[in-house]
A and B are shown apart, each in its own frame.
Chain A
Amino acid sequence: MEFRYIYRGLGVGLLGGLLAFVFARIFAEPFIQDAIDYEDGRHEAQEALDAAAGLAAGAHEHGEVFSRSVQRDLGIGVGMALFGLAVGGLFVVVYLIVSRRYPDIRPRVLAALLAGAGFVGLYLVPFAKYPANPPAVGHEETIGARSALYVTMVAVSVIALGLAVVVGRWLAGRVGTWNASLLAAVVFLVLVGVAMALLPPFGHVGSNRAEFGDFATETPQPLTAPDGTIVYPGFPADLLFRFRFYSVISQLVLWATIALAFGQLAERLAASPARRQARSAAAAAADRPTAAPTTAVAPTTAAG
């Protein structure tokens, strides 16, 4: 059964998530803390400004549900491990579907190709349009719009990747594998490029433009007093870069772990004699029932 693959896919995803967490805990958490400190400092500066202007104090002070220590040591670990698990689950499902369709592709090659596709389709292309933002970057009021836009971008990216692969397969018989691959890449880039051009930047959603001015992102600009002096700096550019760079690397760690570890395990499964038998049996079973269900369904539809 496929369960042997599914268990391994989930396990490998979990392992990848844990490795990505170790990377995040060591390299990224100091910068996440810097971003939170920036946010707190800015909040205080804003309150001081408001008090000077005679405005009521900050509208809402939300109490902390979890301490920073819990979020930093445990929360991010659980979050990333479960993310890895979920990604491993999706990966193994696609792997099993594609490997049955194209049984000639070597397991470790297929695992690497699919993990690469997952990294690009699920993360890198959406990241190109809507990059990961550290705490302090992002307005609470626009969370709904931003989530919808991000999920849309992920969906467009994955669908475009699927379409590009179909086009590539179709062209391969006509113009050769190399040219077909290049043309498929062009199809993918054009599709996601059009989507990126059409979808609005985060800085333009909701009341952002009216409230903060015409910026493409929600990255905090310098806080100025009524006389124009800067009382609190804009969000540090180096910090933003570090956070995003490490975000990309941690995703690379996750997907590379899936590609290499699952590839290795799948090679071993495919090489075991018992497996080979079961696979040929399963392949035969797959070919047959495509006709069987129609005959099985026909009487019920006739009766109904």
Chain B
Amino acid sequence: MTTPVAQSRQRSISFPLTARRAALGLTALLSLLLLYFIGVDQGATSLFGSDTHIHEFVHDARHFLGFPCH
């Protein structure tokens, strides 16, 4: 039992940490982006000009989840 653990320790010195950080960072970033599009975009600010499709589509959810809506 002890040898495989020791071996995997040897193998995973620097790479798993950066992969982990990348995975966590990417997950957090994409989640925040998604929250932005559901909650705020095409209301106060808009990434796609004056289009309101996202806003109108998730309209009820936006109200119900507590985000300010028109």
Contact = CB atoms under 8 A, between A and B. Distances in A.
Interface of A: 1-3, 6, 9-10, 21, 24, 28-29, 32, 64-66, 70-72, 74-80, 82-83, 85-90, 92-93, 96-97, 123, 126-127, 130-135, 138, 140, 143-144, 146-151, 202, 243, 246-247, 250-251, 277-278, 280-282, 284-286, 288-289, 292-293, 296
A296 B32 contact: no
B69 A277 contact: no
> Main SS of chain B's interface residues?
helix
B6 to A, nearest CB: 9
Interface in B36-70: 38-40, 43-45, 52-53, 56-70
Given A280-B5, A282-B12, A293-B14, A75 B65 contact: no
Contact of A75 (B35, B58, B67): B58
A2 B61 contact: no
Given A284-B9, A286-B17, A134 B65 contact: no
> Main SS of chain A's interface residues?
helix
B5 A32 contact: no
Given A1-B16, A87-B31, A277-B5, A96 B24 contact: yes
- B: contact size bracket: 35 or more
Contacts of A74: 57
Contact of A28 (B8, B57, B64): B64
B27 to A, nearest CB: 5
Contacts of A134: 63
12 contacts: A10-B27, A65-B52, A75-B59, A79-B38, A80-B64, A88-B31, A89-B27, A123-B66, A140-B70, A147-B68, A251-B65, A280-B5
Contacts of A144: 44-45
Nearest to A100: B20
Interface centre among A247, A289, A293 (most CB of B within 10 A): A289
Contacts of A24: 60-61, 64
